[in-house]
Amino acid sequence: MQRSLLCYPDKDKEIRRGMIPPKQRHTKVHPSVRTKEKKSSCDLCGKTFPSSSRLKTHQRVHSGERPHGCDQCGGSFATASALKTHRRRHTGEKPYGCDQCGKTFRALSTATIHRLVHTGQKPHGCDQCGKSFMTSNRLKTHRRIHTGEKPFMCDQCGKDFTRASYLKIHQRVHTGERPYGCGRCAAAFSTSHGLKIHERSHTGEKPYACEQCGACFTTPTALKGHKRRHSGEKLYSCSQCGKAFTALGHLINHRRLHNGEKPYACDRCAKSFVTSTQLQTHRRSHTGERPYACDQCGKGFSRSGDLKSHRRIHSGDRPYGCDQCGAAFSRSDVLRTHKRVHTGEKPYACDHCAASFTRADHLKVHRRDHTGEKPYGCDRCAKAFASSKQLRVHQKRSHDPKTDR
């Protein structure tokens, strides 16, 4: 049996996918051809193709051959069409538009997938769990959850991943590459998602709200962890001391207190830290960077938490209240120290004498009584003191003319 085929221009692939109305199609009819087409199969993976040219293109997946090079950035591609799409990154051209929201795309395939967002259509279903996806590639990746397959392995540490993109991001742990830089401060990130979350520290955007208390968060993960505070759920417990945590990351960091591990080292001094966030904050002591500025007085801070606490000076907000005496504080750590007045706890003990203190900084000043260290010198006389408070008292009593003598 024979049939006639419509010939569409090769450049207008969208016609074949039904993306252009019939009136705009090129409708020249070719002579009848046989319906039984000889299929070509790949001898490496067994996949079949309707033509030898399609097979040849596919084989580049195995060989790594990329004969089509970009003359602007040096990038190379397996097909001419992929190169054509890539060049639009340089030109900014986005010829494929969504007729529902107006969003434009460089590639037709991306526009086609985007349209499914509006229709809600997910045509690719998993035969094991029933979950459905917008693209066959996403379904293919999802199936690896069931099979346990992780075909993408790191050649430096052996860790394997379900997706090539996950491997690419992981490899930046070894290279230190952080290609996504913040336009407002010197912070840089290994993923665009990390940058997006960081930018919220500047904008103040917190799109994820707790329906129980109204607290807002920058990420859904942070909100999920916060909700466990209401439920009391602590899924992650330490096998050494039994302490439990609401988030896995908190447990991982806690374990380092037991094993002494500090994997994040400063390249400017000998200090090392338990978390990458601590290292990033520490580096600002070398650079002098203070990316978090108060919008009321302009004072800058190296940590977003310090800025948040500082803002309470302007607002007068003191959210941390003592349940024994009613005293309220702007910071949770100040409340924690205050509670020791009621409990009598003095966890900071001197190793030279029997004295103990409620605060670490008080112990530090006390130790100077043993060492004789007096780092705070008066700029008006030759006297020096063990603490800044002692210096201030001295200057007021001895050098301030308004002070009664």
- Each residue of 157-172: pLDDT tens digit? 889 998 888 999 999 9
Distance CA 304, CA 299 (A): 12
Instruction: Quick: pLDDT tens for 185-205.
Output: 888 999 999 999 999 989 989
Number of helices followed by number of strands (H, E) in the chain = 14, 30
The pLDDT, as a whole number, for residue 363 is 92
According to DSSP, residue 23 is labeled G
Least Cα distance to 291 among 361, 199, 227 occurs for 199
**Residue 171: exposed, middle, or buried by beta-carbon count in 10 A (0-12, 13-18, 19+)?**
middle
Residue 2: what pLDDT? 36
User: Which positions ≥6 away from 258 have C-beta within 8 Å?
Assistant: 238, 240, 241
Q: What are phi and psi of 371, to 5 degrees?
A: -85, -20
Superfamily of domain 39-93: Classic Zinc Finger (3.30.160.60)
Distance set, CA 111 to CA 9, 98, 104, 108, 117 (Å):
20, 7, 7, 5, 10
Q: Do 348-398 and 39-93 fall under one CATH topology?
A: yes
* pLDDT on residue 84: 92
Return the domain boundaries, the chain: 1-36, 39-93, 348-398
Which residue is associated with the tokens 């990033």?
Answer: 280
CA distances from 347 to 322, 356, 357 (A): 19, 7, 6
| Amino acid (1-letter code) at residue 75 | G
Dihedrals phi, psi of 343, to nearest 5 degrees? -85, -20
Residues 222, 200 contacting (CB under 8 angstroms): no
Q: What is the DSSP string of 267-294?
A: SSSS-EESSHHHHHHHHHHHH----EE-
pLDDT of residue 96: 92
DSSP string for 222-245: HHHHHHHHHHT---EE-TTT--EE
Burial of 96 (0-12, 13-18, 19+ CB in 10 A): buried
Q: What is the pLDDT at residue 5?
A: 38
H helices within 288-402, ranges in order?
A: 304-315, 332-343, 360-371, 388-398
3-class secondary-structure state, position 247: coil
d(CA 97, CA 255): 51
* Residue linked to tokens 């900071």: 348
pLDDT at 47: 87
What per-residue confidence (pLDDT) applies to 137? Answer: 87
Residue ranges of the chain with pLDDT lower than 50?
Answer: 1-36, 405
How far is it, in rounded angstroms, from Cα 280 to Cα 343? Answer: 36
Q: State the pLDDT at residue 38.
A: 58
Residue 398 in contact with residue 405, Cβ under 8 Å? Answer: no
Q: What CATH number is given for 348-398 in this structure?
A: 3.30.160.60
Q: Which two tokens stand for residue 282?
A: 């520490």
pLDDT value for 391: 92
